[in-house]
């Protein structure tokens, strides 16, 4: 975890903003959130034009520009009612709202906090969309409580109707707002922690939303036996999950514990320090969290040394490959020589693993290391000399066209992509299996791709920023972070090797469906794989069966051009195709429930994997 988190204190009436900022800093806080306009200054509704001689609010000269930019979050007046039935009130509220945002922009604030919408806040959403669309650097943070005030006041035995439950779900308020505002990337959420917390599924939804800050009212804190603030176990657990997302935390309300205001920030920082530090794997993955990467094109492009080096750091993948080779070699007689071919040998980690496995199994081994990348072949030949690989023959060619001098007992490859087949392992191994004996072993022997529905405002806006159709019809390698997987991944396409079918057809089609337990927004699908290397030896990036510690593969993300609202209990039905021609392979995908999306990437118009070198 980061050594320090950003903590602020919320203030309402601020007679002297400079003094308030100094006091908050002396109490251990990094910033303050303050009303942009004094709460008593409510512009009159009965006049066509707002006219006052006195200033609207405090002067911008009270703080330096650096303090305004780094140490202040502005709050829009809570009394504004842009959805009032009164035309006059609506009009004045809209003007006042725009006036306050303009002032925040003038101050150079990095964020302004907006009052919470309601389920039917259509005009308010319309006004927000007008304003945030024109923001360049400042962000609009919408305040959303975890539980609606009406629900907190209800009796425990009150049974809400389905419509009432939807209208009283703060996530639905947020979702309606962002739908009306066209998923504007300048909008984020300030999540207000309530005394009661919703269930796990409802809490988990927020992990896929653009939560920028968390409000912690002093009223939700309990008192320990020494008189200091503490949080319930459930609150602590949720807060600890939020620490992973580099959010800002804001304490609000009057202090009612020992040592006053400073006690709250001390407790939050104490909780943060208690978190386990990032593991080596998390340190490796952190720069790639929610970062879109184009999948590799291993046939069309030769990998660079740095890419090989990154993959070779994996502590799990090559251990399991070596174990698979060991188990396969044990099936062979001690006195017979086993011919093992590594196709796509790269810089030789599988070759080295096979040699170690043979030594451990006490079996005679003859190895062919085949690779089409002339640069990788240089490294293979150097290793052959330097490491005494006398029983290894290095072959500089494409495995699909190689005329092997003999047939192999074992064929080993590491051609798997994030989705199993997306780096063309089926096509490559189908070509290479001609030099595998009839009773020969392929490592891997089978692999299955998996798909799961995902909610991730972050990933959607990353793709949307390209502002074209092509990027919404491309699959990306991503280490998911600010995402919510809405249901368990289900099997999609399966391939087995060797493939002894009379006519090999690697095209595929499948229909998958999931029941979604909480109302959510579907932004796309996460793609994973589970591979059988040999018998009981597996590799998997499917979250349900993940090979702990493995870093070679991040999941694949299939985006949707238009996010889809999924009501509570609704079924998501998706269709995926894998198409193959003599020159390329591509995927197409669509959703047919709860609403219909266009077929993405028809005829591979935006994204495909080339079969030609």
SS3 per-residue string spanning 107-135: HCCCEEEECCCCCCCHHHHHHHHHHHCCC
pLDDT at position 1 over 50: no
Record the tokens describing residue 470, joined without a space. Answer: 């092509």
3-state secondary structure of 613: coil
Record the tokens describing residue 352, joined without a space. Answer: 């080295």
Catalytic residue (choose from 322, 414, 473, 518): 414
Q: How many residues does the chain have?
A: 613
Record the tokens describing residue 147, joined without a space. Answer: 């539980």
Lowest model confidence (mean pLDDT) among 12-21, 193-202, 337-346: 12-21
CA dist 170 and 149 (Å) reads 10
pLDDT tens digits, one per residue of 437-486: 999 999 999 999 999 999 999 999 999 999 999 999 999 999 999 999 99
Q: How far is CA 504 from CA 16, 427, 431, 580, in A?
A: 77, 10, 11, 11
What is the domain class of 446-610 according to CATH?
Answer: mainly beta
Rounded to a whole number of angstroms, the distance between the first and last alpha carbons of the chain is: 43
**Beta strand 537-540 with 490-496: parallel, antiparallel or unpaired?**
unpaired
CA dist 359 and 305 (Å) reads 28
Residue 282: predicted pLDDT = 87
pLDDT band at 398 (very low <50, low <70, confident <90, very high): confident
- Cα atoms in the Cβ-side hemisphere of radius 13 Å centred on 217: 11
**Under CATH, domain 6-149+160-277 is a member of which superfamily?**
Divalent-metal-dependent TIM barrel enzymes (3.20.20.150)
Catalytic residue (choose from 94, 172, 423, 588): 423
3-state secondary structure of 173: helix
Q: In what order do the strands lie in the sheet with 609-610?
A: 508-515, 571-580, 584-593, 609-610
pLDDT cut 70: percent of the chain above it: 96
Residue 55: predicted pLDDT = 64
Overall average pLDDT of the 90-94 stretch: 93
Residue 47: predicted pLDDT = 44
Residue 99: predicted pLDDT = 93
pLDDT cut 90: percent of the chain above it: 82
> Does residue 314 contact residue 552 with C-beta atoms inside 8 Å?
yes
pLDDT band at 399 (very low <50, low <70, confident <90, very high): confident
Residue 300: predicted pLDDT = 75
pLDDT tens digits, one per residue of 510-566: 999 999 999 999 999 999 999 999 999 999 999 999 999 999 999 999 999 999 999
Record the tokens describing residue 287, joined without a space. Answer: 């720069």
Q: Find out if CATH 3.40.50.150 is the number for domain 305-414.
A: yes
Domain ranges of the chain: 6-149+160-277, 305-414, 446-610
3-state secondary structure of 286: helix
pTM: 0.92
pLDDT band at 102 (very low <50, low <70, confident <90, very high): very high
The answer to whether residue 209 is catalytic is no
CA dist 180 and 442 (Å) reads 53
Q: How far is CA 31 from CA 130, 230, 249, 251, 480, in A?
A: 28, 22, 10, 11, 30
Specify the DSSP class assigned to residue 162: H
Overall average pLDDT of the 223-252 stretch: 95
> Does residue 408 contact residue 437 with C-beta atoms inside 8 Å?
yes
pLDDT band at 569 (very low <50, low <70, confident <90, very high): very high
The answer to whether residue 423 is catalytic is yes
Lowest model confidence (mean pLDDT) among 15-19, 244-248, 421-425: 15-19
* Domain 6-149+160-277 and domain 446-610 have a common topology: no
Overall average pLDDT of the 334-358 stretch: 95
β-bridge partners, 129: none
Q: In what order do the strands lie in the sheet with 408-413?
A: 392-396, 364-371, 337-343, 408-413, 436-443
CA dist 584 and 468 (Å) reads 23
> Does residue 147 contact residue 170 with C-beta atoms inside 8 Å?
yes
Q: H-helix or E-strand containing 461?
A: helix 457-464
Q: Which residues make Cβ contacts (< 8 Å) with residue 597, sequence separation at least 6? A: 560, 561, 562, 564, 590, 591
pLDDT tens digits, one per residue of 349-373: 999 999 999 999 999 999 999 999 9
Mean of per-residue pLDDT scores for the chain: 92
CA dist 407 and 374 (Å) reads 24
pLDDT band at 39 (very low <50, low <70, confident <90, very high): low
């Amino acid at each position: 975890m980061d050594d320090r988190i950003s903590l602020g204190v919320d203030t309402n009436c601020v007679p002297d903003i400079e003094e308030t900022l100094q006091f908050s800093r002396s109490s251990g806080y990094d910033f303050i959130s303050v009303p942009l306009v004094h709460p008593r200054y409510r512009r009159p509704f009965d006049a066509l034009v707002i006219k006052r001689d006195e200033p609207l609010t405090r002067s911008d000269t009270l703080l330096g520009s650096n303090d305004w930019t780094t140490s202040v979050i502005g709050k829009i007046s809570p009394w504004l009612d842009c959805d009032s039935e009164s035309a006059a009130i609506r009009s004045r509220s809209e003007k006042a709202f725009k006036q306050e945002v303009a002032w925040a922009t003038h101050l150079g604030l990095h964020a302004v906090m907006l009052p919470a919408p309601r389920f039917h806040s259509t005009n308010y959403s319309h006004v927000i969309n007008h304003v945030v669309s024109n923001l360049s650097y400042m962000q609009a943070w919408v305040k959303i409580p975890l539980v609606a005030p009406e629900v907190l006041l209800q009796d425990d035995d009150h049974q809400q109707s389905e419509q009432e439950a939807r209208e009283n779900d703060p996530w639905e308020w947020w979702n309606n707002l962002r739908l009306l505002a066209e998923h504007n990337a300048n909008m984020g959420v300030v999540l207000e922690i309530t005394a009661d917390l919703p269930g796990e599924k409802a809490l988990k939804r927020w992990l896929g939303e653009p939560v920028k800050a968390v409000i912690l009212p002093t009223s939700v804190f309990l008192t320990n036996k020494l008189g200091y603030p503490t949080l319930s176990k459930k609150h602590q657990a949720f807060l600890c999950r939020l620490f992973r997302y580099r959010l800002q935390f804001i304490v609000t309300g009057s202090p009612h514990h020992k040592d006053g205001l400073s006690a709250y920030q001390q407790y939050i920082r104490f909780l943060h320090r208690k978190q386990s530090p990032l593991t080596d794997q998390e340190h490796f993955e952190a720069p790639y969290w929610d970062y879109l990467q184009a999948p590799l094109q291993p046939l069309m492009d030769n990998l660079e040394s740095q890419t090989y080096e990154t993959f070779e750091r994996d502590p799990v993948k090559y251990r399991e490959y070596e174990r698979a080779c060991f188990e396969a070699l044990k099936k062979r007689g001690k006195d017979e020589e086993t011919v093992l071919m590594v196709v796509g040998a790269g810089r030789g980690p599988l070759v080295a693993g096979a040699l170690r496995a043979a030594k451990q199994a006490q079996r005679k081994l003859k190895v062919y290391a085949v690779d089409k990348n002339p640069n990788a072949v240089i490294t293979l030949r150097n290793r052959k000399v330097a490491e005494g690989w006398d029983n290894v023959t290095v072959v500089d060619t494409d495995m699909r066209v190689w005329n092997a001098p003999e047939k192999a007992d074992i064929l080993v490859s590491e051609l798997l992509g994030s989705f199993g087949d997306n780096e063309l392992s089926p096509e490559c191994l189908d070509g290479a299996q001609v030099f595998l004996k009839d009773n020969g072993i392929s490592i891997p022997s089978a692999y299955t791709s998996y798909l799961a529905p995902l909610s991730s405002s972050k990933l959607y806006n990353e793709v949307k920023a390209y502002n074209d159709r092509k990027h919404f019809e491309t699959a990306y390698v991503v280490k998911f972070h600010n995402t919510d997987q809405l249901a368990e991944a289900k099997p999609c396409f399966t391939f087995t090797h060797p493939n002894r079918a009379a006519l090999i057809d690697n095209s595929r089609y499948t229909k998958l469906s999931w029941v979604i337990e909480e109302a959510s927004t579907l932004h796309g699908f996460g793609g994973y794989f589970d591979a059988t290397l040999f018998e009981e030896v597996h590799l998997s990036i499917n979250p349900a069966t993940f090979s702990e510690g493995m870093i070679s593969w991040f999941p694949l993300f299939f985006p949707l051009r238009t996010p889809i609202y999924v009501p509570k209990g609704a079924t998501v039905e998706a269709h995926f195709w894998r198409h193959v021609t003599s020159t390329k392979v591509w995927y197409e995908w669509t959703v047919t429930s709860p609403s219909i999306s266009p077929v993405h990437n028809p005829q591979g118009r935006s994204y495909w994997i080339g079969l030609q070198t």
